[in-house]
Chain A
Amino acid sequence: MIAALALVVAAGLKARPTVAASPGGQPQGSASPASARDSAPIDLTGYWVSYVTENWRYRMVTPAKGEYRRIPASPAALPIIAAWDPAADTRAGEQCKSYGAGAIMSVPGRLHITWQDANTLRIDIDAGKQTRLVRFTDRASSPDAPLTWQGESVGTWERVPAPDTGGSLSVVTSRMRAGYLRKNGVSYSERATVSEHFDVAPLPDGGQLLLVNTTVEDPVYLNGPYIVSPHFKKEADGSKWDPTPCSSTW
Chain B
Amino acid sequence: MFIDVVVPRAALGLAIVGLAAAVVFTQAGQGLAGGQRVLQGQFEIAGSWAPLGTEDVQNDSVPVDYLGLAITDDARARALSYDESQKSMIERQCQGWGAAYAVLGPFGLRISTQSDAATNRLVSYTIDAWEDWNGLTIWMDGRPHPSEHALHTQAGFTTGRWEGGALAAHTTHMKAGFIRKTGVPLSDEATIDWRFFRHGDVLTVLMVARDPIYLVEPEVISKGFRLSQAPLDYRDPCVPSFEGPEPGDPVPHYAPGQNPFVNEFVELYHLPREAVLGYRETLYPEYRKKIKDTYVPPPPCTADCGVAGNFVRRRGP
C-alpha spacing A65/B305, complex, angstroms: 9
Among A44-52, A89-97, A141-149, the stretch that binds chain B is: A44-52
The answer to whether B164 touches A240 (Cβ under 8 A) is no
Q: Which residue of chain A is the closest to B13 with respect to CB atoms?
A: A5
Judge whether A35 is part of the interface by a CB distance below 8 angstroms. Answer: yes
The answer to whether B202 touches A69 (Cβ under 8 A) is no
Nearest chain B CB to A89 CB, angstrom units: 15
Nearest chain A CB to B15 CB, angstrom units: 7
A16-B307 in contact given A155-B35, A244-B289 (Cβ < 8 Å): no
Contacts of A136 in B (CB 8 A): 34-35
Encode B282-312 as 1/0 by CB contact (under 8 A) with A: 1111111101100101111110111101010
C-alpha spacing A111/B201, complex, angstroms: 28
Contacts of B314 in A (CB 8 A): none
The answer to whether B36 touches A66 (Cβ under 8 A) is no
Judge whether B83 is part of the interface by a CB distance below 8 angstroms. Answer: no
Contacts of A226 in B (CB 8 A): 54
Judge whether B271 is part of the interface by a CB distance below 8 angstroms. Answer: yes
C-alpha spacing A35/B9, complex, angstroms: 40
How many residues of A are in contact with the other chain, CB < 8 A? 84
Encode A233-250 as 1/0 by CB contact (under 8 A) with B: 000000010101000001
Contacts of A9 in B (CB 8 A): 15-16, 19-20
C-alpha spacing A170/B199, complex, angstroms: 9
Nearest chain A CB to B132 CB, angstrom units: 22
The answer to whether A36 touches B305 (Cβ under 8 A) is no
Q: 20 A–B contact pairs at CB < 8 A?
A: A5-B12, A6-B15, A16-B27, A20-B32, A20-B36, A39-B34, A55-B56, A56-B275, A56-B282, A61-B270, A61-B297, A64-B297, A64-B305, A119-B35, A159-B39, A160-B39, A199-B204, A203-B208, A228-B55, A242-B285
Known: A2-B8, A127-B285, A160-B164. 5 other contacts (CB 8 A): A61-B269, A68-B307, A155-B35, A199-B195, A229-B222
